C-alpha cells in the first residue's frame, strides 16, 4: 500500500473517531461471512458504526486524534474491529444480544467510553449496565419533577377540601 493511500485511510479513520464519543475494540476473526453480515445488520439497526481496520493505521489515527486513546494502544494486536457509537452502552448491549444467538464472538478487547478506558472481556457487563447520557438526563428530570408534582397535588387537594367546606357552610346557612 502506498504512503498516500495510508494517509487517506488514516484521515478517514480519524474523521470517524471525531464523529463518535465511544470506541469499542472487538475481535470478530472467528465469524463466518453469514454471521459477520448479520453483525453488520445488527450494528446498522442499533446506530453503531462497524469498521474493520489495520492496527497500525488505527494507532496512527488514535495518535492524530485530539482525544487521548493511549490506554487502548496495548490492545492493537491480532484482528481488530471497531464499533463506534454516541451512546455509551449501545455497542455492549449489541454484543451481548448478538452472543445470545451465536457463540462467544465478537469478543471485547477494550473500550473508550465517556473519557474512561475499559480493558478486557470481563468489562462487557459493566459497559452494558452504564446508563447513557439521555438516560441520566431522564432520571434527573424525573427527580426534579417529583417534588413539584407533590406540591401541585397537595395544593389541588387543599383546594378541593376548602371548596367542600365552603359548600357545606353555604348549605347550612340557607
DSSP 89-129: THHHHHHHHHHHHSSS-SEEEEEEETTEEEESGGGHHHHHH
Strand order across the beta sheet in which 49-53 lies:
49-53, 80-85, 22-27, 107-113, 116-119
Q: How far is Cα 146 from Cα 171, in angstroms, rounded to an integer?
A: 38
Q: Which three cell numbers stand for residue 146?
A: 417529583
CB 111 within 8 A of CB 123: yes
Give the model confidence (pLDDT) of 153-173 as tens digits.
Answer: 776 776 677 677 777 878 876
Give the model confidence (pLDDT) of 42-95 as tens digits.
Answer: 999 999 999 999 999 999 999 999 999 999 999 999 999 999 999 989 999 999
Grid cell 453483525 is found at 39
Rounded to two decimals, what is the model's pTM? Answer: 0.78
Amino acid at each position: 500500500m502506498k504512503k498516500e493511500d495510508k494517509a487517506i485511510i488514516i484521515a478517514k479513520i480519524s474523521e470517524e473517531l471525531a464523529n463518535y464519543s465511544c470506541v469499542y475494540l472487538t475481535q470478530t476473526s472467528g465469524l463466518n461471512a453469514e454471521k459477520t453480515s448479520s453483525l453488520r445488520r445488527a450494528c446498522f439497526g442499533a446506530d453503531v458504526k462497524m469498521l474493520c481496520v489495520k492496527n497500525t493505521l488505527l494507532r496512527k489515527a488514535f495518535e492524530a486524534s485530539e482525544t487521548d486513546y493511549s490506554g487502548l494502544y496495548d490492545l492493537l494486536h491480532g484482528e481488530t474491529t471497531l464499533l463506534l457509537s454516541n451512546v455509551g452502552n449501545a455497542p455492549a448491549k449489541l454484543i451481548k444480544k448478538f452472543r445470545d444467538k451465536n457463540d462467544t464472538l465478537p469478543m471485547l478487547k477494550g473500550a473508550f467510553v465517556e473519557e474512561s478506558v475499559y480493558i478486557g472481556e470481563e468489562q462487557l457487563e459493566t459497559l452494558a449496565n452504564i446508563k447513557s447520557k439521555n438516560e441520566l438526563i431522564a432520571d434527573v428530570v424525573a427527580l426534579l419533577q417529583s417534588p413539584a408534582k407533590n406540591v401541585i397535588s397537595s395544593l389541588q387537594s387543599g383546594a378541593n377540601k376548602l371548596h367542600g367546606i365552603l359548600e357545606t357552610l353555604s348549605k347550612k346557612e340557607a
